[in-house]
Amino acid sequence: MLPAWDAAIMLVDMNAFFASVEQRDRPEWRGRPVAITNGMQGTCIITCSYEARTHGIKTGMRLKHALRLCPDLIRCPADPHRYAATSTAIMTTLQEITPDIEVFSVDEAFLDITRCQRLLGTPLQIARLAKRRVFEASGVLCSVGISGDKTTAKFAAKLQKPDGLTIIPPWEAAQRLHDVPVTELCGIAKGIGRFLAEHGVVTCGDMRHLPISVLARRFGNPGRRIWYMCQGQDPATLQQEVPAPKSIGHGKVLPPDTRDRELLHTWLLHMSTRVGARLRRHDLQASSFFIGLRTAAGWDGGKLRCALPTNDGGVIMSLCQRVIDELWSGQGVHQVQVTALNPVSTGKQLELFDTADDT
């Protein structure tokens, strides 16, 4: 029998989640290119199936452009409540494998399976169990990555999509990441990537030549974590109970000088639903929201209030619509922002999931 790992972290990632739910419920769509849009009037793609992605179709693309790339593309309006119900079923079944779980997004979860090995077997056996249980609970396929830390497990999960299973033993993590660009790791954005490149760090293997103190001085503890992440030793533990924040916001940098109303509507809907999901995760509501469209002249929009506290993405989106209709005069936008201000406890447990970004 193989020895148990000292630490074993598994990342379960649903494959093209929203589109997969639609293909599950419409068997005639299986194996065909499907694009999810914001209602039947929406002209921007929220996400799409892997069959559509092979044609070059991407999130945020105009439907007209997508149809030129793939004339047989099936257009489907989003059904957030059905996706949320499926997500809840998946997370519930994963909790039956181990209670040590961090729900990372609507379609992703980290599981610490270190203590499961004596009962459930090797990491490979546990991964196969998770994939089977997820499919039995939801009818949707997933990809699984396992390693000794969160970052390497998440990297592993994306290597064999869709329906993949990749295991990177902890003692092989540094070597497997050696030639991987640092910006391929979750949490290392382009801005940090530019800073690292200026210091000679382009791949994870380059990090060993950069003193950890350089990152610590620039970024503090997150910088120290990045140094270890690139060497397959992410020290972060699962966040099973996240402290309630003082504000909850999401933003998106858009292509320069964006003037397309439908595109703005699509991204504001993304931000609104994600803010609503996070509010519910913390059992919070808010009455005040910052809704902003950033232009060359500054921010259009500002602080808006609801009649009653809410954590409903649709209600938040109605505030965004007011900004578009009443405060935006058509000038080019390069960033959108939706933030819940001073959220308060709802006093009751609400739904955890909403239509967060599908990855």
Instruction: For the chain, list the strands marked E by DSSP.
Output: 9-14, 34-37, 45-48, 74-77, 101-105, 108-112, 142-147, 165-167, 247-258, 284-295, 298-310, 333-341, 344-345
Q: Residue 321 domain-assigned? A: yes
Where on the phi/psi map is residue 166: left (φ > 0), alpha (ψ -120 to 50), or beta? beta
Q: What is the pLDDT of residue 190?
A: 85
pLDDT above 60: residue 359: no
Give the closest residue to 347 by CA, choosing from 306, 317, 313, 311.
Answer: 311
Q: What is the pLDDT of residue 283?
A: 86
| Residue for token pair 């900004």 | 323
Q: What is the pLDDT of residues 292-347, one digit of tens each?
A: 999 888 888 889 999 899 999 999 999 999 999 988 988 999 899 999 999 998 76
Q: What is the pLDDT of residues 118-129, one digit of tens each?
A: 999 999 999 999
Q: What is the pLDDT of residue 241?
A: 67
Judgement on whether residues 281 and 197 belong to the same structural domain of the protein? no
pLDDT above 90: residue 81: no
0.75 exceeded by pTM: no
pLDDT above 60: residue 358: no
Q: Residue 32 domain-assigned? A: yes
Judgement on whether residues 260 and 326 belong to the same structural domain of the protein? yes
For the chain, the distance separating the N- and C-terminal CA atoms, rounded to the nearest angstrom, is 36
Judgement on whether residues 220 and 252 belong to the same structural domain of the protein? no
Give the angle subtended at the CA of 103 by the CAs of 118 and 311, to the nearest 5°: 155
Number of domains in the chain: 3
Judgement on whether residues 274 and 209 belong to the same structural domain of the protein? no
Expressed as residue numbers, the domain containing 182 is: 178-229
Report the C-alpha gap between 126 and 201 in whole angstroms.
35
Query: For the chain, what is the mean pLDDT?
Result: 91
| Residue for token pair 């919070």 | 284
Give the closest residue to 60 by CA, choosing from 36, 79, 41.
Answer: 36
Judgement on whether residues 224 and 289 belong to the same structural domain of the protein? no
Q: Residue 326 domain-assigned? A: yes
pLDDT above 60: residue 356: no
| In contact, 259 and 330? CB cutoff 8 Å | yes
Active site residue 262: no
Give the closest residue to 236 by CA, choosing from 245, 225, 227.
Answer: 225
Q: What is the pLDDT of residue 145?
A: 98
Domain boundary among 58, 79, 100: 79
| Residue for token pair 């000038």 | 331
Radius of gyration of the chain (CA): 21
- Catalytic residue selected from 22, 51, 102, 108: 108
pLDDT above 50: residue 149: yes
Q: How confident is the model at residue 349 (pLDDT cuts 50, 70, 90)?
A: very low
Q: What is the pLDDT of residues 82-126, one digit of tens each?
A: 998 999 999 999 999 999 999 988 899 999 999 999 999 999 999
Q: What is the pLDDT of residue 115?
A: 93
Strands 108-112 and 101-105: antiparallel
Q: What is the pLDDT of residues 246-304, one digit of tens each?
A: 789 988 888 878 999 888 998 999 899 989 988 998 889 999 999 999 988 888 888 99
Is 239 or 341 the better-scoring residue by pLDDT? 341
* Domain containing residue 323: CATH number: 3.30.1490.100
Judgement on whether residues 199 and 289 belong to the same structural domain of the protein? no
* Domain containing residue 224: CATH number: 1.10.150.20
Give the angle subtended at the CA of 271 by the CAs of 83 and 308, to the nearest 5°: 90
